[in-house]
Each structure stands twice: as C-alpha cells, then as structure tokens.
Amino acid sequence: MKAKRLWIGMLGLLMCFLLCGCNVLNDIFGSDRYDNGYYDNGYYDDGYYDNGYYDDGYQPYNKSTTASNLISHYIDVGQGDCEFIEFPDGQTMLIDAGPAESGSKIVRYIRNLGYDYIDYIIATHPHADHIGGMKQVIDAFDFGTVYMPNAETNTSTYEKLLTTIKNKNKKIKTAKAKTKIGNLNNSSYITVETLAPNGNEYESLNDYSVVLKITYGKVRLLYMGDAETISEDEILKKNYDVSADVIKVGHHGSATSSSQKFVNRVKAQYAIFSLGADNDYHHPHTQVVNRWKKAGAQILRTDEYGTMVLTTDGNTFDIDTEKE
C-alpha cells in the first residue's frame, strides 16, 4: 500500500513536470529569446558587435559600405606635388599643395569631394612646388594639425604660409621619422608611419622631406615627397619597411632620387610620377623611369594621365585616371 502511494506520487510529480517543467527550464536556462535569437547569435555573436565592429578592424570600419574605402588622390598640379587622402573613418589628409598657381584648383577639388575641413595638412618640405598653393588651402578650409619638417627657408612663399597659419591660431607640429600623426593608428588594420627625415641637417631642402607610408589592410602606399638618395639610404639603414604596392616617386623622378637599392626594396606595382609636361628640370629622368619599370612597376605620370584616384578596401585597389 505504501509502495503504491509512492508510485502514484512520483507519477503525479512527473506529469506536473512534463506540463509546466519546459517553461520553467526555459526561463532558467533560456531558449528562444536568449539562446537562439536576438541576444546571443543574432546581435552579439554574429553581427555588429563582435565580428564586424570591434574585433576585425578599425572602429568605424564596416565592410558592407563604401565608407570602408581608403581613397588616395594624386592631384595633377603640373610641376609639383599634391596628394589628398580620405580615410575610412572620414578623416582627411593633404600632403603638399603644389605650386601657387594650383592653389585654387586644389581648393575646388577638395570642396567638390564634399569637405570643408581637413584633419591633417603635411608640408613635406618648404619648396614652392609643394607649399605654393598651401596658403590658399589654409585660407579656404578649417583644419586640424599642420605638420612640417624642421627645415626653414627665407622665401616669401614660406614666410607667408607661416603667417597664414599663425593668423588662424594654429601651431605647426614638427614631423620627422616615427612621428605620430593624429589618431590614425588606432587599429592594426590601418597604420600611418613617417619614415623620414631621420637627420637634422641636410644640404638640400629635399632631404628634409617627410616620407609617409600608409598601410590599409594588405595595401601599402608610399609618399616620398622630394626625398633624395641621402634620405633613402638613411631609411634603409634604419631598416624601415619600404615595401609598397604604390609609390609616389621621390622628387618628380629626378636622378637624385630612386637609387637602385631603394627601388629594389620598394618593389612597387605602380610608380606614380607627379610633374608637369615639358618642365624646366627635364623630370622625369629616363634612367629613373627605366629603373622602376625594370623592377616591375607600371609607370603612371600626372603629365600623361592627369589626376589619379586610388581606391582600396584594404584587400585590392583600383586606380582611375583622369586621362586615358
């Protein structure tokens, strides 16, 4: 009799458990809502937070939008240099601003891209074919920080530029090798490094040139300013990694730059020469062009192709040219 009552009791408990136990267990350990749905798999694990946003890369990096591209514009300013870079997080950088007569073109170009603010302005060195148009740019835009090497000259172009920057209540930060540029290095997916100048005293202003390397994912871009072989040798001596997919060749393709050793170490797929047609300096020098070609680079000249626009998602890149 006792055993029978116990059996019925256990059966009752089992029935009770079957009827309402599932919900109780679900409430305790979770099922639809917590385990499979919104919180664990959908939102936190697979989606926005873990894989897309925080782990893989740059903070605002989102592979699904065009905003994840880095775009480097090599603006045709005739005999001179000017590059404008749009970073994936919306920050911008201007490297040089061509000769004075190209100032208005550069201002228009950047405005047409939709910007009224430039985060970083880099004057690689104070020669007129690099800083000539910079006064106009600085007058036209609000901007973050100006970087220059510790090189002075007494030209009126340079002095007017300094006055313009001062009048805007901005200070100039000195750039040399290993200078940190703003907050552009906040993930492993993008790095902006300065590789030169490595010294304090050079005979030629060109060797004071700030040399920049931008790496976005697998794509590496090198900007040489007018750095000559003295600076190239110092960069190699420091063992900085100069390998790049695309190089803005030093000093408009002059024979004073692009030593064989340097060209071999860069191993560029594309060598961009920024210069004016029929310039007084006979840039680019034939042996330099041939040196880059022999090392496997395709030659792109602003006097032939006009402005060039490189777009990369960090894996591959395209270069569009203004002229065919």
Q: Which residues bind Zn ion (CB under 5 A)?
A: 129, 226
Whose Cβ is closer to Zn ion: residue 125's or residue 213's? 125
Query: What's the closest the beta carbon of residue 180 comes to Zn ion, in angstroms?
Result: 26
The token pair at 130 is 């690099």
Query: What's the closest the beta carbon of residue 281 comes to Zn ion, in angstroms?
Result: 9
User: Are the C-beta atoms of residues 215 and 243 closer than 8 Å to each other?
Assistant: no
Listed in sequence order, the residues at least 6 apart from 201 whose beta carbon sits closer than 8 Å to its beta carbon are: none
Of 135, 85, 89, 80, the C-alpha closest to 113 is: 85
Partners of 173 in beta bridges:
147
Q: How far apart are CA 93 and CA 309, in angstroms?
A: 14
Count CB neighbours of 147 within 10 A.
22
Task: Kindly list the distances between the CA atom of residue 310 and the CA atoms of 28, 106, 151, 218, 253, in Å, as whole numbers in the listed order.
Answer: 55, 17, 30, 14, 20
Query: What's the closest the beta carbon of residue 274 comes to Zn ion, in angstroms?
Result: 8
Largest Cα–Cα distance in the chain? 117
Q: How far apart are CA 32 and CA 220, in angstroms?
A: 46
Query: What's the closest the beta carbon of residue 129 comes to Zn ion, in angstroms?
Result: 4
Query: What's the closest the beta carbon of residue 255 comes to Zn ion, in angstroms?
Result: 14
Query: What's the closest the beta carbon of residue 212 comes to Zn ion, in angstroms?
Result: 15
Whose Cβ is closer to Zn ion: residue 206's or residue 215's? 206
Count CB neighbours of 321 within 10 A.
16
